[in-house]
Amino acid sequence: MRSPLLLVSKTFPPFPPRYNIAPSQPIAVIRQLQHQPREFRLMQWGLIPGWAKDPSIGNNLINARCETAHEKPSFRSAIKYRRCLIPASGFYEWQKVDKSTKQPYYFRMQQPFAFAGLWESWHDIETCIILTTQPNEVVAPVHQRMPVIISPDNYKVWLDFDIQTPSYLFHLFDPDLVQGLSALPVSTLVNSPTVDRPECIEPML
């Protein structure tokens, strides 16, 4: 089956597979500037607002709530003018087992998909953040939030520079639009940001 991400960018350069991307590391992003074709970029995961004086603020800005991003000083400009798609084949969430233990789960689909992201430029550094929403019925037993996943039919809308009114985009954040998501318990290897290999996504027996 043809990947919907091939419809996002005409040029998708070789990018090595990643199995456990951690905040502050490079992440694949597809964006569209005004009157320009869509382009693939690598950006640092952890948004540094253009007005920031200290880049360390990006360490705390890895996710933003889609319900309130348009109200927050850190995100309200980006959600108008600097939206992006972040291609992925899955994501992790952790389920609390007891006071000291959390079980990681790997959520995946049959084909690659894309998160809703925002990006910023700070000096010569480009950074991004992933929007989150309420969980759908698959994610809810594990975690109280999930990434916003944009339907391929809505890629054009999300990247459209001419749409600068956030309320026109709210319908894209509905978690019930996400179909075909499955959850697999995986090893606690993913708890370490230094571990980035295929074993991270192998289901526990």
Pair of tokens at residue 124: 């010569």
Q: Which of 129-133, 190-194, 201-205 has the lowest mean pLDDT?
A: 201-205
Pair of tokens at residue 172: 């894209």
pLDDT above 70 as % of the chain: 93
Residue 78 is given by DSSP the state H
CATH 3.40.309.10, applies to 22-90+110-171: no
Three-class secondary structure of residue 43 per DSSP: strand
141-151 pLDDT, tens digit each: 999 999 999 99
Cα angle at 9 between 50 and 200, to 5 degrees?
80
pLDDT above 90 as % of the chain: 86
Three-class secondary structure of residue 190 per DSSP: helix
Q: What is the pLDDT of residue 8?
A: 46
What are the domain boundaries of the chain? 22-90+110-171
Cα separation, 159 vs 161, in Å, equals 6
What pTM, to 2 d.p., does this model score?
A: 0.92
State mean pLDDT over 19-42.
92
Residue 140 is given by DSSP the state T
